[in-house]
């Protein structure tokens, strides 16, 4: 295989017996975002295009999952991943709309990213001073 995965491993990843096997799901997503950029020599154009599309999808998976699986990330690093995922989703969704994902899923993911940004801005606004008034950025006014 061009990504150094054996056919047995690929069969295992794509044919799970337990549909709620979190480790298997993570392994599959990790293998997708770890695909090499380079295609093998003599690769057909369809293979090259599929590899590129899987790399983009892998980046999206990585940026969505990293804030949840990497406990060492700072809040800022978490928001960088979530923001990258939001921008990538926007680009993909605007290109293919509901072919990419159902509209409601897109809206839910974008709302979640917006909530994370509000948390970050509130923490930044506090600056380590809990008595300082928090700003409600979505409403444009302060709250206590």
Q: Domain check: are 51 and 78 in the same one?
A: no
What is the total count of domains within the chain?
2
Q: Domain check: are 121 and 143 in the same one?
A: yes
- The residue from 40, 72, 104 where one domain ends is 72
- The residue from 38, 72, 106 where one domain ends is 72
Residue 24 domain boundaries? 1-72
Q: Domain check: are 46 and 83 in the same one?
A: no
pLDDT in tens, the chain (144 residues): 556 778 887 777 777 677 777 888 888 888 888 888 888 888 899 988 988 888 988 998 899 889 888 889 887 788 888 888 888 888 888 877 777 778 887 787 777 666 566 666 666 655 555 444 444 444 444 444
Residue 99: C-alpha distances to residues 63, 93, 103, 105, 106 (Å): 21, 8, 9, 12, 11
Whole-number Å distance between alpha carbons of 94 and 7 = 35
């Amino acid at each position: 295989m061009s990504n150094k995965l054996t056919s047995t491993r690929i069969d295992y990843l794509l044919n799970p017996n337990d549909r709620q096997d979190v480790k298997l799901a993570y392994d599959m997503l990790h293998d997708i975002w770890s695909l090499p950029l380079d295609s093998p020599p003599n690769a057909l154009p369809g293979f090259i295009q599929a590899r590129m599309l899987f790399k983009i999808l892998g980046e999206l998976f990585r940026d969505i999952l990293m804030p949840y699986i990497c406990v060492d990330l700072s809040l800022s690093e978490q928001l960088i991943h979530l923001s990258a995922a939001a921008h990538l989703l926007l680009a993909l969704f605007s290109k293919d709309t509901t072919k990419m994902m159902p509209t409601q899923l897109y809206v839910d993911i974008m709302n979640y990213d917006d909530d994370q940004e509000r948390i970050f801005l509130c923490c930044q606004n506090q600056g380590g001073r809990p008595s300082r008034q928090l700003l409600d950025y979505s409403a444009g006014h302060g709250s206590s």
